[in-house]
Amino acid sequence: MGLKRADLPSVGVTGFQVLLFLYAISSNSPFPCAEIYELLANILGLTQSQENLEMRRDKRNHWQNRVQYAKRKLVREGLVTTPRNGQWLITAKGIQAIKVMKEPI
């Protein structure tokens, strides 16, 4: 039996990891999204099968689609920006959100 989309991390988990990653490398310069796919897959412990899973309808890479969808949600929330095509950058609002999450209760 093949893998299904449910075998990938949720959009919420993926988005949180995108934000954490961009925060960790925050150098005030955009990061290429092509490199984020593999780095996040490694961080989340995805298998090769999960990383290469194709969408049933159109054979696009499901993992890359999941990361892109999570990024779009972050952009809508003002936490990430795309200053150039294929380049992602955490915003001041995104940095503040991470800092709030890291504060002890």
Which CATH number is 19's domain given? 1.10.10.10
- Please count the structural domains in the chain: 1
Non-local (6+) Cβ contacts of 70 within 8 A are 11, 12, 14, 15, 18
pLDDT value for 35 = 92
* pLDDT tens figures, 52-83: 998 888 889 999 999 999 999 999 999 999 99
* pLDDT tens figures, 2-36: 545 568 999 999 999 999 999 998 777 889 988 99
Q: From the CA atom positions of the chain, what is the Rg in Å?
A: 14
pTM given for the model: 0.85
